[in-house]
């Protein structure tokens, strides 16, 4: 990755950084250089590290979707600041440690990287269990905030809702986890009769900043949403020092305008380093002026990728070729791309991606496809790949709040089912695509929550004769022997097919009328991308889809929990304070399910989500007694069906390593 040098008057200006103020810091004893305004991730990437490490011996790309937890090491014991690398501000002279990875010494790190020939890698082994994505933040004080209306998401849907809501409700809080308002509107562009998104965002921001009853907080991530209470972490820099705020927002009404996220094309090697999702690249470029080195190629099935190619070319990047799985796609963006000299090849499906021996290039195998039949195959060399297989509605917070989702081909892969009291969706996460409809959805969300007369939302779309719709999900279903894994989604779940081990986790799935009986998935948390890919391949029934979402989909960021430690040193957090039961487990084991303390009989630490059975002969999730909900160095806590639990009872806990014996100690 590199910085744009000629970025004046371009959306990829790197709005967050100050190129006149260089900084440096350490991450796991590796020196990283950047600029004031960088986040830890952007500085790491700009310093030449595009590989996070290895999974199943293959290099994994470093991107925002990995959600790598990094902590700021300070002399103070009062504060424990931890956040994903993409949200952690880079501080000059600071020392950071990626959670769960031994920092080592400068010499040992250098030897390690040279030995593995991965000089561009952070050398994290994602096969190791000690890499803990579920860390804790210690916080002395949690500020309490009460508002009439909370809007989560600062894209055009959230901004439109705030502008209109200011005329109806007395106080509004708008939260945006990025440093900038506007979301990804600039990436998607506008229809021919719509206002340019740059001006649209600017005008909306100007309007809401005039309203005295609207407060805006950027760099504010909602970690948890339950019972109309949002738990928020806000990170900011003041006079060169990192400031953390943890606060709870109690809101009478909530609008979720969280937008959509990248969907990963499914083919072997789809997460090898030097690849990255379209949305992730856009955010890096617009906020920090960062883009892949050399000549980039794009794999896509939608028109937003062409818009990205134009923006990148204007900023000085080299987009060599766009591979489109659609046959003869049409779009004004496509015509503009041709005029820029960008080559276009259509009807091609990615099959396999390999990294060259010198780690400098990628070897990409593509195949001509027509109605699921493959024709001639061809292999190309590329410097880097931008991947765009469409979009997924970002419904993590909706799930956290207790909402249900179902699969949908027309609404970014997912859509909501049913309603939540005083919570409403707005924007692309509710299926709207044009800027006009997205803005109107923000207005109608206000009308719904405040019991005003609602109007039909008009989706202004260009005729398909001139604008080819987004294609079906990019999925190459065949196995390629001895190839890199084929991942089913971004993130740190690492759900994949891996043919070199002759073990296909989907082979452990037998479809029945009631449930999917899975084996290795008992202790695997899915991302929404994983479940959507599984659904596209296996065509799950509605009940099967719903069952997996309720039991296995990661809820929200869920990177960490907040442990509130009172200032009085005599009062400490004990295991008696661990009483929270996740929403999605409330009815899994009966309404009278109990929280129990358990003890391993084989000196094994269990993981959150692992299922508990009466004996080692059972592994069907339908027959589980309960599941692990908390694990520390001192004790383990599980939720168990009341009528199936007695003190001293021996149980079996299923892990990726098989069954392990444990016993119930006492109710918690």
Q: Any idea what the CATH number is for the domain that residue 424 is in? A: 3.50.50.60
pLDDT of the residue at 82: 87
- Give the pLDDT of residue 554: 65
Q: Are residues 254 and 280 in the same domain?
A: no
Predicted local distance difference test score (pLDDT) of residue 518: 40
Q: What is the pTM (predicted TM-score) of this model?
A: 0.83
What is the count of structural domains for the chain?
A: 3
Asked if residue 271 and residue 129 are part of one domain, the reply reads: yes
Paired residues of 25 in beta bridges: 32
Instruction: Let me know whether 9 and 126 are in one domain.
Output: yes
Query: Is-contact 504 486, C-beta < 8 A?
Result: no
Q: Are 489 and 530 in contact (CB under 8 A)?
A: yes
pLDDT at residue 633 in the model: 66
Q: Are strands 18-27 and 95-98 parallel, antiparallel or unpaired?
A: parallel
The gap between the terminal CA atoms of the chain, to the nearest Å, is 50
pLDDT at 575: 46
Q: What is the DSSP letter of 501?
A: G
CA 619, CA 389: separation in Å to the nearest integer?
35
Residue 405 lies in a domain: yes
Q: Which of 338, 373, 388 is the last residue of a domain?
A: 388
Q: What is the layout of strands, in order, in the sheet containing 496-498?
A: 486-487, 496-498, 503-504
Separation of alpha carbons 84 and 39, rounded Å: 10
Q: Is residue 422 part of a domain?
A: yes
Same domain? 379 vs 273 = yes
Assess whether 335 and 250 both reside in one domain. Answer: no
537 domain-assigned: no
Residue from 71, 51, 76, 72 nearest 61 by CA: 51
- pLDDT given for residue 75 in this prediction: 62
In the block, which residue shows the tokens 């790491």? 44
Q: What is the pLDDT of residue 514?
A: 34
Is 513 part of any domain? no
Examine residue 606 and state whether it is found in any structural domain, yes or no.
yes
Which of 406, 432, 449 represents a domain boundary (last residue)?
449
Residue 180 lies in a domain: yes
Query: Are residues 336 and 367 part of one domain?
Result: yes
Of 45, 47, 46, the residue nearest 61 (C-alpha): 45
CA distances, 126 to each of 86, 100, 132, 224 (Å)? 18, 10, 10, 25
Does residue 533 lie in a domain region? Answer: no
- The verdict on 126 and 166 lying in the same domain is no
What per-residue confidence (pLDDT) applies to 323? 95
Helix, coil or strand: residue 299: strand
Which residues in the chain come in under a pLDDT of 50?
77-78, 102-105, 108, 116-117, 130, 501-522, 556, 559, 567-577
Hey, what are 198's tokens?
A: 């740059």
Residue 268 and residue 253 share a domain: no
Same domain? 71 vs 105: yes
Q: Which two tokens stand for residue 416?
A: 């909501």
Domain's final residue, options 412, 428, 449: 449
pLDDT, position 131: 52
Same-domain pairing of 255 and 339: no
pLDDT at 227: 87
CATH of residue 592 = 2.40.30.110
Q: Are residues 21 and 127 in the same domain?
A: yes
Strand partners, 24: 33
Q: Which domain holds residue 215?
A: 141-261+391-449
| Most distant CA atoms of the chain, gap in Å | 74
**18 and 70 share one domain:** yes
Give domain status of residue 499, yes or no: no
pLDDT of residue 534: 85
Interatomic CA distance for residues 223 and 231, integer angstroms: 6
User: Which pLDDT belongs to residue 508?
Assistant: 40
With beta carbons less than 8 A apart as the criterion, state whether 278 and 308 touch.
yes
């Amino acid at each position: 990755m590199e910085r744009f040098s000629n970025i004046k008057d371009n959306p990829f200006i790197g709005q967050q950084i100050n190129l006149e103020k260089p900084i440096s810091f350490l991450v796991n004893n590796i020196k990283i250089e950047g600029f004031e305004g960088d986040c830890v991730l952007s500085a790491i990437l700009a310093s030449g590290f595009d590989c996070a490490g290895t999974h199943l011996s293959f290099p994994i790309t470093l991107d925002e979707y990995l959600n790598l937890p990094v902590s700021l090491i300070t002399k103070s014991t009062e504060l424990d600041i931890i956040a994903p690398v993409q949200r952690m501000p880079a501080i000059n002279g600071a020392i950071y440690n990626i959670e769960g990875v031994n920092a080592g010494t400068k010499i040992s790190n250098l030897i390690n990287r040279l030995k593995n020939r991965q000089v561009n890698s952070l050398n994290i082994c994602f096969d190791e269990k000690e890499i803990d994505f579920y860390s804790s933040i210690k916080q002395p004080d949690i500020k309490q905030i009460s508002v009439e209306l909370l809007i989560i998401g600062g894209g055009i849907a959230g901004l439109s809702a705030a502008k209109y809501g200011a005329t109806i409700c007395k106080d509004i809080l708008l939260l945006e986890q990025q440093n900038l308002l506007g979301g990804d509107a600039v990436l998607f562009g506008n229809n021919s009769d719509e206002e340019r998104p740059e001006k649209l965002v600017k005008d909306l921001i100007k309007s809401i900043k005039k309203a005295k009853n609207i407060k805006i907080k950027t760099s504010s991530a909602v970690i948890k949403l339950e019972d109309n209470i949002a738990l928020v972490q806000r990170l900011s820099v003041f006079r060169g020092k990192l400031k953390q705020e943890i606060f709870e927002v109690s809101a009478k009404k909530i609008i979720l305008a969280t937008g959509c996220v990248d969907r990963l094309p499914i083919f072997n090697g789809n997460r090898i380093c030097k690849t990255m999702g379209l949305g992730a690249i856009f955010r890096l470029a617009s906020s920090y002026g960062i883009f892949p080195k050399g000549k980039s190629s794009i794999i896509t099935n939608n028109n937003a990728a062409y818009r990205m190619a134009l923006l990148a070319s204007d900023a000085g990047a080299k987009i060599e070729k766009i591979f489109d799985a659609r046959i003869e796609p049409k779009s004004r963006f496509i015509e503009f791309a041709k005029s820029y000299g960008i080559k276009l090849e259509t009807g091609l499906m990615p099959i396999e991606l390999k990294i060259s021996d010198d780690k400098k290039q990628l070897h990409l195998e593509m195949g001509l496809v027509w109605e699921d039949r493959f024709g001639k195959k061809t292999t190309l060399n590329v410097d880097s790949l931008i991947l765009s297989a469409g979009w997924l509605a970002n419904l993590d917070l909706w799930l956290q709040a207790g909402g249900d989702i179902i699969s949908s081909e027309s609404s970014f892969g997912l859509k909501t089912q049913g309603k939540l009291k005083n919570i409403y969706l707005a924007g692309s996460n509710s299926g709207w695509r044009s800027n006009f409809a997205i803005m109107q959805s923000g207005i109608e969300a206000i009308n719904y929550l405040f019991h005003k007369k609602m109007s039909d939302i008009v989706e202004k779309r260009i005729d398909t004769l001139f604008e080819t719709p987004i294609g079906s999900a990019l999925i190459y279903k065949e196995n390629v022997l001895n190839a890199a894994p084929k991942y089913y989604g971004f993130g740190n779940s690492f759900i994949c097919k891996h043919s070199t081990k002759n073990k296909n986790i989907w082979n452990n799935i037998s479809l029945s009328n009631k449930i999917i009986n899975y084996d290795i998935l008992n202790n695997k948390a899915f991302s929404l991308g994983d479940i959507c890919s599984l659904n596209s391949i296996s065509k799950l029934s509605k009940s099967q889809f719903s069952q997996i979402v309720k039991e296995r989909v990661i809820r929200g960021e869920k990177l960490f929990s907040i442990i509130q430690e009172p200032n009085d040193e005599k009062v400490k957090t004990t295991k008696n304070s661990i009483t929270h039961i996740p929403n999605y487990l409330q009815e899994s084991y009966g309404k009278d399910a109990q929280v129990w303390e358990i003890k391993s009989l084989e000196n094994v630490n269990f993981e959150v989500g692992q299922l508990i059975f009466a004996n080692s002969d059972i592994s069907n999730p339908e027959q589980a007694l309960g599941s692990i909900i908390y694990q520390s160095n001192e004790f383990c806590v599980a939720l168990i069906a009341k009528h199936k639990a007695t003190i001293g009872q021996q149980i079996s806990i299923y892990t990726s390593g098989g069954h392990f014996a444990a016993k119930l100690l006492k109710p918690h």
